[in-house]
Amino acid sequence: MRAFGRVRMTAAALAAGLLAAGFAVAGCSAGPPGASGASGTATPDSGGTHGPTAQAAAVTPLEPLPAAVAATLAPYYGQQLAWQPCDDGFECTTFRVPMDYDRPGDGDLTLAAARAAAVPGGSSAAGSGAAEARIGSLLLNPGGPGGSAIEYLESAARTYDGGVRARYDLVGLDPRGVGRSSPVTCLSGERMDAFTAVDLTPGDQQEIDALVAADKEFAEGCRQHAGPALGHLSTVEAARDMDVLRALLGDERLNFVGESYGTFLGATYAGLFPARVGRLVLDGAMDPALDSITGNRTQAGGFETAWSAFAKDCARREDCPLGRTEQQVGDQLTALLATVHERPLPSTDDGRRLTEAQATTGVIQAMYADFLWPDLRTALADAKAGDGTGLLKLSDAYYGREADGTYPNLMFANTAVNCLDLPAPFGSPADVQRAVPDFERASPHFGRGMAWMALNCAYWPVRATGTAHTIRAAGAAPIVVIGTTRDPATPYDWARSLAGQLESGRLLTYDGDGHTAYGRHSACVDGAVNRFLLTGEAPEQGRRCDR
């Protein structure tokens, strides 16, 4: 997802992180889409017509780039890809892009991509014959920003719908600064452990100073390790990189499935290159029209909505450790976090102790997918009994921490992209303190912490290059935008707004829980998306799916 603050998790990283942390995810898909066996129905969206938010109407639209490739960029568009076998049956390659598209002579970045070639003979739940001709390449992005599309591809390729796999080469491109594409790094594993433990609900000046020091250390580490590339990791630049790869793959139009932040990347591509839009699916949609303060606050509200759904479900279950009503569950969570704040809990992980920040992160992690709710109930019960191991594992999974104490570059790239894409929401702790009441109204359980999380960009060493904007993509082919009604990380209203901004946007609603919808629960969603990818037939405007 493209988080506005420190809340960030891709579908691929969710699955990979849970496996690394020892959580079983068999039988559940947090991201890789395929034909679902669940039942599902579709009805028109009862919300009626959709359209841009009031804020969206007031911000500047993203303007398309010239259709012709500039002469200074022709060498990049004229490269030849050299695919080599890699990673258990996949093919990998690298190619060059300019670090700065406005100054191509200032140096290049090397980007990495992988592909799973089309597999003829697959069958599709969408009913399209797999024996038909290859359509082209289908680029995948799992979100973040900072999620590795190559890692995601390696799981997605085996679970995608058979008909889609038969007619597309699935391609994962790690965006600039991410994974294998000139990755940005910032802190050692030991310092990241300290960073994740810092109090995010400071109650006095000493705690505020500690949080500011942690954010400054993170920013300085990124500056030292990344160099001048740190100022060129924006979403606009990543979208331009996708167009270079599209050309090198030999595709006239870009076919793309993006989840979470991947929807912002895909929508940005559509805004810059509307005539080159093929079949775009944007699942768990971002709203590019939101400034960073509004985005953080409404995202906090999304997590509150998800918490409410969890609390109601928990209260009905015999193993719920926090009470028998939604109110009791919420009150006892607040009490538990206050206890952990005063006395961090021991764990079985090499003497590490669970802090309040990590406990809250563990709860937030479980809001991304309802199949994690049983693990959260167990972790909360253990925490009440004085054992922080379960919540610490969930927190580690959120950050992608490996068992050996190392971290991927997910969080480093995430912050680097976010701090470039939008001006910092807050310039000082005093700004945060003034905003906390609004955040707490949006989310009584998470608002305060999420307000303080958003302070990190205040100390970023390079100035933001982007601003909030609408995306119209005039003249583009139909673009499918998917929103989940109780999505914690990308609230449903964001999908409604993006679909309304896009001239050719088609809103597909999933009435359910968790982050993103394609390939997770609903045969209705999966069928509509697979049909679109295979035939180009977009779902009717306002279609609504349940399980």
| Structural domains of the chain ordered from first start | 42-184+233-290+470-545 (3.40.50.1820), 197-204+293-421+424-459 (no CATH)
Which among 175, 196, 264 has a CA at the least distance from the CA of 401? 196
> Residue 98: in which H helix or E strand, if any?
strand 90-98
Tell me if 288 sits within 8 A of 471, measured CB to CB. Answer: yes
Tell me if 544 sits within 8 A of 46, measured CB to CB. Answer: yes
**Is 399 a residue whose pLDDT tops 60?**
yes
**Is 452 a residue whose pLDDT tops 50?**
yes
> What's the helix, strand, coil split of the chain in %, to 5?
45, 15, 40
**Is 195 a residue whose pLDDT tops 90?**
yes
Strand 254-259 with 479-486, pairing: unpaired
Can you tell me the distance from the alpha carbon of 364 to that of 373, in angstroms, rounded to the nearest whole number? 11
Per residue in 336-368, is it b (16+ CB within 10 Å) or e — as a string?
bbebbbeebbebebeebebbbbbbbbbbbbbbb
Q: What mean pLDDT comes out for the span 199-212?
A: 97
Q: What mean pLDDT comes out for the span 512-531?
A: 93
pLDDT in tens, 56-70: 557 899 999 999 999
Can you tell me the distance from the alpha carbon of 85 to that of 464, in angstroms, rounded to the nearest whole number? 39
Give just the sign of the alpha carbon dihedral 375, 380, 385, 390. Answer: positive
Tell me if 514 sits within 8 A of 307, measured CB to CB. Answer: no
The residues with which 277 forms a beta bridge, in sequence order, are 254
CA 481 to centroid of chain Cα atoms = 15
pLDDT confidence bin for 156, thresholds 50/70/90: confident
**Is 15 a residue whose pLDDT tops 60?**
no
For 340-391, the DSSP string reads: HHHSPEE-SSTT-EE-HHHHHHHHHHHTT-GGGHHHHHHHHHHHHTT--HHH
Out of 36, 124, 155, 260, the active site residue is 260
Structure tokens, 3 = 């988080």
The pLDDT assigned to 351 comes to 87
The pLDDT assigned to 55 comes to 61
Q: What mean pLDDT comes out for the span 30-36?
A: 33
pLDDT over 90 for what percent of the chain? Answer: 83
pLDDT confidence bin for 89, thresholds 50/70/90: confident
Long-range Cβ pairs for the range 242-247 (8 Å, 24+): 242/139, 242/173, 242/269, 243/269, 243/272, 243/273, 243/276, 244/73, 244/76, 244/77, 244/95, 244/97, 245/95, 245/111, 245/113, 245/139, 245/171, 245/173, 246/137, 246/139, 246/276, 247/69, 247/77
Out of 169, 251, 487, 546, the active site residue is 487
Dihedral of CA atoms 138, 142, 147, 150 in degrees, nearest 10, equals -30
Can you tell me the distance from the alpha carbon of 141 to that of 357, in angstroms, rounded to the nearest whole number? 29
**Is 415 a residue whose pLDDT tops 90?**
yes
The residues with which 98 forms a beta bridge, in sequence order, are 108
Catalytic-residue membership of 232: no
Tell me if 467 sits within 8 A of 293, measured CB to CB. Answer: no
Look at residue 287 and give its three-state secondary structure: coil
**Is 491 a residue whose pLDDT tops 70?**
yes
Can you tell me the distance from the alpha carbon of 362 to that of 339, in angstroms, rounded to the nearest whole number? 16
Q: Is 320 left (phi over 0), alpha (psi -120 to 50) or beta?
A: beta
Q: HEC string of 115-157?
A: EECCCCCCCCCCCCCCCCCCCEEEEEECCCCCCCHHHHHHHHC
**Is 32 a residue whose pLDDT tops 80?**
no
- Could you give the residue ranges of the DSSP H alpha helices within 54-117? 54-58, 74-77
| Residue located via tokens 């989840």 | 259
Can you tell me the distance from the alpha carbon of 270 to that of 478, in angstroms, rounded to the nearest whole number? 11
pLDDT confidence bin for 125, thresholds 50/70/90: low
Q: Which of 279-283, 472-476, 538-542 has the lowest mean pLDDT?
A: 538-542
DSSP-derived letter for residue 538 is P
pLDDT confidence bin for 270, thresholds 50/70/90: very high
Structure tokens, 14 = 């969710």
pLDDT confidence bin for 158, thresholds 50/70/90: confident
In degrees rounded to 5, what are phi and psi of residue 353? -115, 145
Q: Which of 38-47, 104-113, 214-223, 360-369 has the lowest mean pLDDT?
A: 38-47
Q: Which amino acid is at 171?
A: V
Tell me the pLDDT of the chain averaged across its residues.
89
**Is 30 a residue whose pLDDT tops 70?**
no
pLDDT in tens, 339-357: 999 999 999 988 899 999 9
The pLDDT assigned to 178 comes to 98
In degrees rounded to 5, what are phi and psi of residue 314? -60, -45
Which among 168, 83, 151 has a CA at the least distance from the CA of 117? 168
Structure tokens, 508 = 């597909």
Can you tell me the distance from the alpha carbon of 242 to that of 280, in angstroms, rounded to the nearest whole number? 13
Out of 283, 515, 521, 522, the active site residue is 515
pLDDT confidence bin for 20, thresholds 50/70/90: very low
Catalytic-residue membership of 521: no
**Is 90 a residue whose pLDDT tops 60?**
yes
Catalytic-residue membership of 515: yes
pLDDT confidence bin for 445, thresholds 50/70/90: very high
In degrees rounded to 5, what are phi and psi of residue 506? -120, 115
Tell me if 282 sits within 8 A of 263, measured CB to CB. Answer: yes
Tell me if 1 sits within 8 A of 144, measured CB to CB. Answer: yes
Tell me if 217 sits within 8 A of 252, measured CB to CB. Answer: no
Residue 539, CA atoms < 13 Å, CB-side half-sphere: 28
